[in-house]
Amino acid sequence: MGENGSFLALAVISTLIYIGMFIGCLTGVKIVFGVPCIVALLIYKWRQKHLSMYNGIEDFLQSDNNIIPIRYSYKDIKKITEKFKTKLGHGGYGSVFKGQLRSGRLVAVKLLDKAKSNGQDFVNEVATIGRIHHVNVVQLIGFCVEGSKRALIYEFMPNGSLEKYIHSHAEEKYSLTCEKLYSISLGVARGIDYLHNGCNMKILHFDIKPHNILLDENFNPKVSDFGLARLCPMDKSIVTLTAARGTIGYMAPELFYRNVGAISNKADVYSFGMLLMEMASRRKNLNALAEQSSQIYFPFWIYDQLHDGREVTIENDTDQEIKLAKKMMIVALWCIQTKPEDRPSMDKVLEMLEEEDGELPMPNKPYFCLQDEPVIGVRDDNTDSSWSSLIHQ
């Protein structure tokens, strides 16, 4: 019995060893053959995803080739930019280079990064801005799609973005008078009004902010960067979004909270109101370093000042400039009303800004709306990643 027991134990141990060796061999085979297969599968999926995106872009370009701007080859792009000689800067989706067409016209070429570029953003840009022409909307001259290489060619805007001209930290050489800022605000309002009411399709921008307002050699403003834009029929304004989009500080509350109201062209009105507030006061709308808590959210402080009859003055402003700034602030307060239905349309905003006689009535005080569950997913095109300010020298 003792010998039989020992033999049985030895047999069991030997069997377990062989089983272990067999499993080990199988595991080794899986590792040797499995890892390359997994890698190959991932590469295949990546290629299929991007091939589908490229095919989608091509399908769009072929279907709408009667309304899109000039298509350039990548070879043309290199020639226009002299092999990317003069880099103007780098934004969230790529680098911007200065270029020159054969006609001698200066252009800004945005070369999209392969890893960061979004096919839908590219289509949005070409589909919206490619079909419109307005003195206050930046002109898309051409584009390039060649495999994974994509580029957009815009008119060159020598005075850059509005952002550097309206904040208190701006250098003196970038300082603009209140009259000039008022004139710029009218141009921006006309550009947005055209997007909403002047095309065969209503264009909702969803990212109105100082960085996306470019200035030409005469400081005429042009709305730019249509990567987040949406098209909708003229008889409709409400759109459905899977995630909030825009830049924190300029995004309408309905983009965050469902109970505020439907998402529509009034979101652009809100963003314009925040922009207008900054232009009139020449400071950011959110001041975390404010001495008083009431000034942290700047529109609240502005409202209280105007409501109590106190002037909101800027140093060295004339009486006429103070009057213009006050009008801009009141219009801005109308634009940033919490509920979309309480905001004026852009054509009404333009009418209010152009009003010369009489004093505009004060709207209700804006309020925060936090009693509902926020919309899931926020796409923040922060000014740090904006490319628009790079389309200049």
Residues labelled catalytic: 207
- Kindly tell me the burial class for residue 30, based on how many C-beta atoms sit within 10 Å of its own C-beta (0-12, 13-18, 19 or more): exposed
Half-sphere exposure of 95 (CA within 13 A, CB side): 11
The answer to whether 110 is a known ligand-binding residue is yes
Alpha carbon of 246 to those of 167, 225, 273, 284, 377: distances in Å? 20, 11, 14, 17, 12
Distance between start and end Cα atoms, the chain: 96
Q: In sequence order, what E strands does the chain have?
A: 70-71, 87-90, 94-100, 106-112, 140-146, 149-155, 202-204, 213-215, 221-223, 230-232, 244-246, 378-380
The backbone torsions φ and ψ at residue 29, rounded to the nearest 5 degrees and listed phi first, read -60, -40
CA distances from 258 to 89, 251, 265, 340 (A): 37, 14, 16, 12
Q: What is the 3-state secondary structure (H, E, C) of 180-232?
A: HHHHHHHHHHHHHHHHHHCCCCEEECCCCCHHHEEECCCCCEEECCCCCCEEE
Q: What is each CA distance from 88 to 58, 84, 346, in whole angstroms?
A: 29, 10, 33
The answer to whether 161 and 214 are in contact (CB under 8 A) is: yes
Letter for the amino acid at 182? Y
Answer whether 77's CB lies under 8 Å from 109's CB.
yes
**Helices 346-354 and 266-281, interaxial angle, to 10°?**
30
Q: In whole angstroms, what separates CA 316 from the centre of its chain?
A: 34
The CB density around residue 102, as the number of other CB atoms within 10 Å, is: 8
Binding-site residue numbers for ATP are: 110
Binding-site residue numbers are: 110
